[in-house]
Amino acid sequence: MNAIEFTDVTLALGNRTILQDVSFAIREREFIGVLGPNGAGKTTALRAVLGLVAPRHGRIVVLGRPPLPGNPAIGYLPQVQSQAAGTRLRGRDFVAASYHGHRPGLPLLGAAGRREVAAALERVGAEDLARRPLSELSGGERQRLLLAQALIGRPRLLLLDEPLISLDPRHQTAVVALTRSLQQELGITVLFTAHEINPLLGAIDRVLYLGLRQAALGTVAEVITGPALSRLYGMAIDVVNLNGRIFVMSDGHDLEGSAHRHDEAHRHA
Ligand SMILES: Nc1ncnc2c1ncn2[C@@H]1O[C@H](COP(=O)(O)OP(=O)(O)OP(=O)(O)O)[C@@H](O)[C@H]1O
Ligand SMILES: [Mg+2]
């Protein structure tokens, strides 16, 4: 069965078309890296899968049904996590707040809820971190708790929006490896957005690359190529393989690398 099907889907926000007549199918138990430049529509596509953005045209099917907001079969880690960075809430309470349909607040958990929270924390190896306030944790440590939060409710589909942002390369690798092992142990489908393909190499099954309102889905070898990316960027792209890393180059600039630096500049501004 397919986990996600887009058939001739057009997504728009206000009067801006984000994706136009896009079709692809993601199979169950695939780990998909979702890439594309800033503004390509990665977050919007995830929000459409969640049922938070309705297609203007075409059809979306998620786990055999139309998208439905609040679907407990989907775990979601949103891109913006400023809330998590500032809170004095202990990690465990933050994760527990997701129990019972992702409702905010601090529910009093019964035994089943406590077991589920403990199991999610154990899965990501965050039992000790969970005793500390989120505001005291490093970006990578916080990301582990956010992953635990997304696992609450035993989702069959995980949507992780930019879990690598603000992490150094070592922590990026750790988060990708953790996600891959969770995905395989639990037998679930994962969509994982990122700005750069390199941290995902060797972990993902296929890439969904967005750009210029279009999408390309395939293996890294199929999609990360000069011709395919030139279409999605609307300019001549060279793909350079060097020491097991991939560089997406235009006119001598590394596009994915510079997108990342752009984020970092924003963060420190
Ligand atoms: N309410 C809105 N009305 C019109 N355009 C919007 C609205 N919200 C977002 N957009 C635009 O939609 C486009 C797609 O945004 P989206 O957040 O999906 O991109 P993204 O690929 O996730 O980008 P990033 O890499 O920066 O996270 C952007 O150009 C954004 O400016
Ligand atoms: Mg985004």
- Testing ligand 1's pocket by substitution, the residue of 43, 56, 191, 196 carrying the most ligand atoms inside 8 A of its CB is 43
Ligand 1 atom closest to the CA of 45, numbered from 1: 18
- The ligand 1 atom nearest the CA atom of 79: 27
pLDDT tens-digit profile of 164-209? 987 888 889 989 999 999 999 999 999 999 999 999 999 999 999 9
**Could you give the percent of the chain with pLDDT greater than 90?**
61
| 206-211, strands of its sheet edge to edge | 74-77, 157-160, 189-193, 31-35, 206-211, 214-218
Please tell me the distance from the alpha carbon of residue 154 to that of residue 103, in angstroms, as a whole number. 15
Which amino acid residue places its CA nearest to atom 11 of ligand 1? 39
Of all protein residues, the one whose alpha carbon is nearest to atom 16 of ligand 1 is 41
Please report the pLDDT score of residue 81 as a whole number: 65
How remote is the CA of residue 11 from the centroid of ligand 1, in Å? Answer: 11
The length of the chain is: 269
Residue 165 has a pLDDT of 84
**Helix ranges (DSSP H) in the chain:** 42-49, 82-86, 91-96, 111-123, 139-151, 169-186, 220-223, 226-233, 255-268
Ligand 1: residues with CB < 6 A are: 13-14, 16, 18, 36, 38-44, 79
Q: What is the pLDDT of residue 268?
A: 44
Pairing of strands 57-62, 189-193: unpaired
Secondary structure string (H, E, C) spanning 197-234: CHHHCCCCCEEEEEECCEEEEECHHHHCCHHHHHHHHC
Q: What is the mean pLDDT of residues 85-93?
A: 78
Q: pLDDT at residue 266 above 80?
A: no
CA–centroid distance, 257 to ligand 2, in Å, is 16
Do the beta carbons of residue 256 and residue 40 sit within 8 Å? no
Structural domains in the chain plus CATH codes: 1-73+161-269 (3.40.50.300), 78-154 (no CATH)
Counting atoms of ligand 1 from 1, which one is nearest the CA of 263? 26
| CA 223 to ligand 1 center in whole angstroms | 23
Residue nearest to atom 2 of ligand 1 (CA): 13
Task: Considering only residues 21 and 252, tell me which one the structure prediction assigns the higher pLDDT.
Answer: 21
The mean pLDDT of 151-176, rounded to a whole number, is 90
**Confidence check: pLDDT of 58 > 50:** yes
